[in-house]
């Protein structure tokens, strides 16, 4: 192996005026973990949903998991821009995430309700990150978190509209 391939990633000090970078990077890592878990859950429901609402749920979940997959990259790159390492192990993702697997195979309606609750949970965590970022002079993370929260709030609304009676 050449010396060029022996470089190990490391955290570095970044001086951009952001205060308490560690806390923001931790918050971003939590959001990244939830995003990854929700991408998988959304994709799994997309593959397995059945019933009269199949097509609408299938198409909506596809749009949502594609959006979140791209967002995972943005979140990880923001962590790196702050000089910290993004999570590198699935164990880290599982430990940080508040997104849970279902206890049993859910119906189409239960899938939709479960995803809506997860999107709301993630929006709530993003609101905390928005507040923290503002207090710590980090408008870049604040803007990123605001955009992500808007996505999750809209996703929750669209999913809840499917199961509205």
Q: What percent of the chain has pLDDT over 70?
A: 97
* Gap between the Cα atoms of 130 and 161, Å rounded: 27
* Gap between the Cα atoms of 85 and 29, Å rounded: 9
* Confidence (pLDDT) at 10: 64
* Gap between the Cα atoms of 51 and 46, Å rounded: 12
Confidence of residue 1 (pLDDT cuts 50, 70, 90): low
* Gap between the Cα atoms of 137 and 36, Å rounded: 27
Tokens of 139: 């408008």
* Gap between the Cα atoms of 76 and 96, Å rounded: 14
* Residue-wise pLDDT tens digits, 16-73: 778 889 999 999 999 999 999 999 999 999 999 999 999 999 999 999 999 999 999 9
* Gap between the Cα atoms of 39 and 16, Å rounded: 31
Confidence of residue 4 (pLDDT cuts 50, 70, 90): confident
Domains (ranges, CATH) in the chain? 18-86+107-163 (1.20.1260.10)
């Amino acid at each position: 192996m050449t010396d060029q391939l022996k470089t190990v990633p490391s955290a570095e000090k970044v001086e951009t005026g952001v205060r308490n970078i560690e806390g923001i990077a931790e918050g971003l890592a939590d959001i990244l973990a939830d995003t990854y878990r929700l991408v998988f859950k959304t994709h799994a429901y997309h593959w397995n949903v059945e019933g009269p609402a199949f097509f609408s749920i299938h198409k909506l979940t596809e749009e949502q998991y594609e959006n979140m997959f791209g967002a995972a990259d943005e979140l990880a790159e923001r962590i790196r821009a702050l000089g910290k390492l993004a999570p590198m192990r699935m164990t880290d993702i599982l430990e940080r995430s508040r997104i849970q697997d279902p206890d049993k195979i859910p119906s189409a309606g239960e899938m939709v309700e479960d995803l809506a609750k997860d999107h709301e949970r993630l929006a709530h965590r993003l609101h905390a990150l928005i507040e923290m970022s503002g207090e710590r002079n980090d408008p870049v993370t604040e803007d990123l978190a605001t955009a992500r929260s808007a996505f999750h709030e809209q996703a929750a609304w669209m999913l809840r509209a499917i199961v509205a009676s």
